[in-house]
Amino acid sequence: MRRLAFIVLVLFIGMMVMAAEGTAAEVVKIGVLTPLSPPGDYGGGQLISRGAKLGAEYVNGRGGILGGKKIELVIEDDAGTPEKGVAGYRKLVTQDQVVAVIGQYHSSVMNAVNDLAEQFGVPVFSTQASARVLTEEHFVTTFRTHAIDPDRARMWLNFIKDSGYKRIAIIAENTDYGIGLIEETKAQTKQMGLDLQLKSVVFDRGVVDFTPQLLELKSWKPDLLINVGVGNAAYLLIKQSFDIGLFPQTPMLVSYDFPVRPEYWGNLGPKGNYLMYISYYHPKMKVTEVGEWFKKAYTAKYNEPPVYSAFNAFGQIVIIAQALEMAQSTKPADLIAALEKGKFTSWNGVVTFTRGEGPYWHQWSPPLLILQYTKVNQPYDQATILYPPDMKTGEYTSPQ
């Protein structure tokens, strides 16, 4: 009897192990490493997480990949710091055994993660990190579907030239992103032969009172102030510029698309009016069938229209799924090979990752626009498009 009971127990344990292994084999894990707490831009990270979840839902709802395997996301908070980014990537790869990692938002974090990714061989995607150095080092594991700083600086310098601005002030955080954009703007001003006067101020990331720096810039009397803060700092720069009478009397351009988020007007109210900002998407732009599915699903789930951060994370999950299917393998090396060879349908078009020159390595770039709010509580889709010329819907509006 005891022998029979022992045999039954062994068989039971064996069946449980086989079931567990079978369950593990039925999923393919993708990591989402993104800022979900301060000092990172956790609003951006939340949008990225939402988009990634809908990406997995989209793929799984269509039968999954590789004969029915489901995508499972493992989400980690990098808090916008290199240390937590490196620790998060290491955990995702060694413990969770993900096949790829998306969600990178802060350039300084991804710059640190890139070195580790090259060692482990598991690809990492920039979802919204833009420093040129990230792809300029030509790491085989680094991929990006986001704007890069050379294109951003070139675009706003063309806008500055067309607008007739001459005295340009830049206030930027002391990160790869902030310092990189100052350097890029200076270099391209010279390359383009523009007759501009540039003044730059760099601040520590933890600063919350920018009054001294803003008063210094106000006394310089710029024609345009470029705000290269990220997260809370970007909001504080707008509020404090308004409080000292610098903005909106002096036009302000912010370097990325946080004004499209639903919380923008709640955070700033009338102080946010007349702001210009960079965007990578406008609701009037055409998207693919995949993108249309996402727009409807996101709006239904969150009762608000989707914005770029969510779109881009969604697209990266869909791209990785297509590449895994193309590779017919979950090995990271096979995934990388497929990513380099394939053409993938994302939310806004067909994406490729060629071994381009300089920072255009494994790089696919979205369009760049400059928009302006002209009314308090103005919906994103009603903002004036100031640039590029072929999409322009109006001129810059000054405060009355």
pLDDT band (50, 70, 90) for residue 25: low
7 pLDDT higher than 70: no
Same domain, 243 and 377: yes
Do residues 385 and 261 both lie within one domain?
yes
Q: Are residue 91 and residue 29 in the same domain, yes or no?
A: yes
Say how many domains are in the chain: 2
When computed from its CA atoms, the radius of gyration of the chain, rounded to whole angstroms, is 23
Model pTM? 0.89
Taking the C-alpha atoms of residue 275 and residue 149, their distance in angstroms, rounded to an integer, is 21
Asked if the model's pLDDT at residue 3 lies above 60, the reply is no
pLDDT tens-digit map of 184-210: 999 999 999 999 999 999 999 889 999
Q: Is residue 399 assigned to a domain?
A: no
- 154 and 99 belong to one structural domain: no
* Confidence at residue 206, expressed as pLDDT on a 0 to 100 scale: 86
Q: Is the pLDDT of residue 288 over 70?
A: yes
274 is a domain residue: yes
CATH code at 293?
3.40.50.2300
Same domain, 356 and 345: yes
Alpha-helical segments (H) within 131-269: 133-136, 149-163, 176-191, 211-220, 232-243, 264-268
| pLDDT number for residue 110 | 98
Res 305: pLDDT: 93
Whether 386 maps to a domain, the answer reads yes
Within a domain: residue 37? yes
Question: How distant is the alpha carbon of residue 244 from its chain centre?
Answer: 31
- Specify if 387 maps to a domain: yes
127 and 219 share a domain?
no
Are 165 and 218 within one domain?
Answer: yes
> Does residue 398 sit within a domain?
no
Query: 127 and 158: one domain?
Result: no
Residue 208 lies in a domain: yes
For 326-376, the pLDDT digits (tens) are 999 999 999 999 999 999 999 999 999 999 999 999 999 999 999 999 999
Indicate whether 340 belongs to any domain.
yes
Question: In angstroms, rounded to a whole number, what is the distance separating the alpha carbons of residues 103 and 318?
Answer: 13
Count Cα neighbours of 57 within 13 Å in the Cβ-side half-sphere.
Answer: 13
Domain residue limits at 37: 10-147+286-360
pLDDT over 90 at 4, yes or no: no
Mean pLDDT of the chain: 94
End-to-end CA distance of the chain: 94
**Strand-strand pairing, 344-346 and 349-351:** antiparallel
- pLDDT above 90: residue 17: no
* Claim to verify: residue 291 and residue 256 sit in the same structural domain: no
pLDDT of amino acid 18: 40
